Structure 1
């Protein structure tokens, strides 16, 4: 972990460093930065989503305060502002970010369409920053939180204000957004952020979605769009935010709980067993993450600061394994 974290945090964080980074990191691994600095606004910036393009080794980070999108390379310690915010393409805020196999960048707008009626709920950009689509869901009060690219190449976005998932797809240059799943009657909407983090099941036949305010996971069948509860054995997943899946491993970033939980998922995503719950830094609120060359790139949101002050950072962790 970074020098900043080693100095500013207590012994629990030092233990986390040993657990997450490990004693046997290779020279090549150690050569990469352990923190990545983001540029921010003079009045303070807060961040949330992250996407990663394995082909180009680029990562993308969203800024909630303004909607800017930042981009960086794994071997460079500094990211740059890639897309302007403050109303650019109708974007005043941004949340989840992901990248598809063609390098297209998808951005979830959070409350963008709520706070600015008529403004888009989501955007899609080409690798060179050209706007490909700016879409509204057509659903009132939609808060688009996070997204995953499905095995069909479409993007699936969660709605934190209702138990819904939106599907965004392109055909012959035309982009469409549909309400792919609506689990009203199955998933109870509670106060706070409901559906958020989203990942694929190991067999790629379902979506696994976090409901962070109540600490539950849900499975959405990709064939039927039907939602069922994931059996987690009573694991404490309150404040579940970002989800990262690799094989049978599922990492859950629990923002204000300041925990990184590791679960073992069944192949179909119907059940999960808690393997470990590792404390994260007491002075950071980590939100979403992506796996990049064996490390988790995790966003330090600054959500715990009334007025955020730099440094603004993405941190790199070696995730615990099951």
Structure 2
């Protein structure tokens, strides 16, 4: 085989590896699980959190929390409408769902067994957009897309929730700069070594490492890639999945242990994507709600959740 043919084949192989389109359904309990799950018409999903065979979705329109069974595709309303958004979601090992409240500037903690609201925290008032949340052993951290801060909700012994005013606001310093237009801070996860946080700035496509004790930020060095429209983040080991919502793409990043540098090793696309906002893992697959930002919402607009194979 001559050099020119080898070069062409290598280029084709590289292109295949860097764009993965996957439609195969997941398997659970020996049977195929749905590759697409329908949400209620008009729901306008934003966040997703998973626990076992269940996924939880928040409505950016009404604040309703919907629980879907990823095995059979069925679902039910867990928590009714609040009249304010429900955006980023995370479930802890105690079965509590932490909910970012968007323009309401708040957070709620919901019992996933009963749907009861266990606590509510008012972080800020307008202008504010409490967007996403990550959980550690000692705290929950929330991003605000309208302010250069994180909100820290400390967790006591046994995961005890603080009083209504028991949160702190952490100003961000260092490399991060708030810009005047578009969505700033968005998704948030822990670093692989679990000592810091990673956040994405949607309007600039930059990825930052944050010291949660001080608020000092540094750029994560990912040569040759900008995370334009970066939204939800998911960390699995040293692999970071960055959802780029309006690009209908997930960037797959291999990070170093401290989360200071990374390399984009693949991108995942799928024809069923329709502006997915974030991602969660369950049953060996990645699940993404289609927010459909480019479709005018009506009470009968259909919304779906798409399952793809992780890279």
TM range, smaller chain: 0.7 to 0.9
Q: Provide the residue aligned with 1:35 in structure 2.
A: 36
* Aligned match of 2:56: 60
Tell me if structure 1 keeps the 8 A contact 2:24–2:308.
Answer: no
Instruction: Identify unmatched segments of 5+ residues in structure 2.
Output: 1-16
> Conserved in 2, the CA contact under 8 Å of 1:62 and 1:97?
yes
Cα distance, 1:177 vs structure 2: 4.9
* Match of residue 9 from structure 2: none
Structure 1 residues 18 and 189, CA gap change in structure 2 (3 angstroms): closer
Q: 2:162 aligns with which of 149, 153, 174?
A: 174
Q: Paired residue for 1:126, among 101, 104, 111? A: 111
Mark the CA change 1:281 to 1:177 in structure 2 (over 3 Å): closer, same or farther: farther
String of CA shifts for 1:91-148, please: whole Å, max 9, x gaps: 42211111111110111111124xxxxxxx1111122211111111146522100111
Match of 1:11 in 2: none
RMSD: 2.5
Return the match for 1:209 from 199, 203, 212.
199
What residue in structure 2 maps to residue 104 of structure 1?
Answer: 96
Determine if contact 1:212/1:241 at 8 Å carries over to the other structure. yes
Structure 1 unmatched ranges of 5 or more? 1-14, 114-120
Report the counterpart of residue 9 of structure 1 in structure 2: none
Structure 2 SS opposite 1:287? coil
The structure 2 residue matched to 1:305, chosen from 286, 295, 301, is: 295
Give the conservation status (yes or no) of the 8 Å contact 2:133–2:140: yes
In structure 2, the partner of 1:71 is: 67
Indicate whether 1:84 and 2:75 are aligned: no
Hey, what's the Cα distance between the residues in 1 that align with 2:77 and 2:24? 32
- 1:278 Cα deviation after fit: 3.1
Cα distance between partner residues in 2 of 1:17 and 1:233: 18
CA distance in 2, matches of 1:250, 1:185: 23
Contact 2:27–2:33 at 8 Å: present in 1 too?
A: no
Verify the 8 A CA contact 1:151 1:204 in the aligned structure 2: no
Is contact 1:167–1:179 with CA below 8 Å preserved after alignment? Answer: yes
For residues 35 and 265 of structure 1, the distance between their equivalents in structure 2, rounded to whole angstroms, comes to: 30
User: Is contact 1:137-1:177 (8 Å) kept?
Assistant: no
Give per-residue Cα distances to partners, 1:135-179, cap 9 Å, x unaligned: 111465221001111132x21110101221111134455335534
Q: How does 1:272-311 map to 2 (within 5 A)?
A: 272-281=262-271, 284-308=274-298, 309-311=300-302
**Structure-2 residue corresponding to 1:160:** 145
Change (3 A) 1:112 1:167: same
The two structures have a TM-score, normalised by structure 2, of 0.84
- Quickly say closer, same or farther: Cα 1:103–1:248, change in 2 above 3 A: same
- Give how far 1:181 is off: 2.5
